[in-house]
Copies of this chain bind each other. A is one copy, B any other.
Amino acid sequence: MYKSLFDHIQKFVPLEPSDINILESCLELSKIKRKDHVLQEGQVCNTMYFIVKGCMRQYIINSKGTEQTLQFGIENWWITDYLSFLNHIPSHFYIQAVENTEVIAIDKPLMDSILVQIPALEKYFKIVAQKAFGAAQMRIKFLFTMSAEERYHHFNNLNPNFTQRVPQYMLASYLDFSAEFMSKIRAGKV
């Protein structure tokens, strides 16, 4: 039932059968409907979400009232606001399901208890965070060095199937240009 999470963990650290028993006894799968939020700006983010199936995004609303997506998460990704989660401070972000999504949601007390029972998971979450930070650095590099059109084609090359899963305006904001400009890029009018 939680196979995708166990597989993901075991890419990075080994799990004993007893560890798996512990996890099976305390995890649960939850469903989030498309467009529902699990975090709103101003709330303290108390939960980490592992996406089993579906797609979520982290976004902000800018001063013009437009949504800008900072991060997408799909199968086998963790999504949370780490700063809010770690420091118990209000979040700057919204986190929302883009598709009907199944997640394993782990709130802070449960996470603390799991990490005490299975210390090997500290290493797992270390690696997850280090990879996420590395990816964020690459993302900033691409934002700095590529034109809007290059970012669009580069993203499509890296994620050929993903583009169809989200509305174009969400992807446009993730790549830091306007939805209208995305339209023109796709039409070859630029």
Contact = CB atoms under 8 A, between A and B. Distances in A.
A125 interface: yes
Contacts of A130: 82, 86, 125, 129
Contacts of A136: 133, 136-137, 140
Interface residues of A, number: 38
Interface string A83-121: 100100000110000000000000000000001000100
A73 to B, nearest CB: 12
A139 B140 contact: yes
- Tell me what chain A mostly uses at the interface: helix, strand, loop, or mixed: helix
A75 interface: no
A70 B145 contact: no
Contacts of A138: 83, 92
A126 to B, nearest CB: 4
Interface stretch (A2-10, A17-25, A60-68, A159-167): A60-68
A111 B134 CA distance: 18
A92 B139 contact: no
A134 B92 CA distance: 11
As for how many copies of this chain the complex holds, the number is: 2
Interface string A127-160: 1011111111111110111000000000000000
Contact of A119 (B71, B119, B135): B119
A31 interface: no
A122 B115 CA distance: 11
A145 B62 contact: yes
A135 B70 contact: no
Contact of A137 (B62, B68, B71, B141): B71
A82 B134 contact: yes
Contacts of A145: 60, 62-63, 68
Those 3 A-B pairs whose CB atoms lie nearest each other, nearest first: A83-B134, A129-B129, A126-B126
